[in-house]
Amino acid sequence: MSRGSTADRLRYAGERVTHQRLLVADALGSMGRQVTAGDLYDHIRSRDPRIGRATVFRTLEALVASGVARRLEQDGHVYGYVACRPEHHHHLACDRCGRVEEIDEGYVTPVAERVAADLGFRIDDARLDFYGLCARCAADDARYRPADAATAGSAPRRPVPFDEGSA
């Protein structure tokens, strides 16, 4: 993640630009996958033992608030963090290796347009994250078949939307 663009994004969001914030943003960007705040702290601390745990945790929240990072839910109600590009996008998060891929708004726009047309709902913002297995982990998993993803035998790992027809 470029220090210049990170600093500009923090300033634009009204956040202070500090050495610690840039250090945390750079470390998060270099991870290449979602990482917990504790794991990121350990990673940074190995390079800069002066940084405090609370600083890393607070900085992650500032990065999320400014759009520099995104918080993703992991199993066990633990949050993982991932660096984000400035353009609006959505995520594919691998439950096995932690890899996160950004996907373009074009994948979600047809859904949003249908919701607006069918339900009359005016959408101001949308954030959609898909959880499952990345292509590499899916290829390594002999049991996983994309055609069977919707009917897999395990219970859903994420909240399932309420369906009025099943009530």
- Sketch the domain layout of the chain as residue ranges: 1-86, 88-151
| pLDDT for the residue 66 | 87
| pLDDT for the residue 160 | 40
pLDDT at 162 > cutoff 90:
no
pLDDT at 125 > cutoff 60:
yes
CA distance 119 to 111: 12
pLDDT at 157 > cutoff 60:
no
| pLDDT for the residue 90 | 84
* Strand boundaries in the chain, DSSP class E: 69-74, 78-83, 89-94, 100-104, 129-132
Residue with tokens 């891929």: 101
CA distance 91 to 71: 11
* Sign of the torsion formed by the C-alpha atoms of 1, 10, 22 and 99: negative
Which CATH number applies to 88-151? Answer: 3.30.1490.190
- Mind listing the pLDDT tens digit for each residue in 61-113? 999 988 889 898 887 888 999 888 777 778 888 888 888 888 888 898 999 99
> Which CATH number, 3.30.565.10, 1.10.10.10, 3.40.50.720, 3.20.20.70, labels domain 1-86?
1.10.10.10
| pLDDT for the residue 127 | 82
| pLDDT for the residue 145 | 60
pLDDT at 166 > cutoff 50:
no
- Mind listing the pLDDT tens digit for each residue in 23-64? 999 999 898 888 999 999 999 999 889 999 999 999 999 999
Q: Which amino acid, 49?
A: P
**pTM: predicted TM-score of the whole model, two decimal places:** 0.66
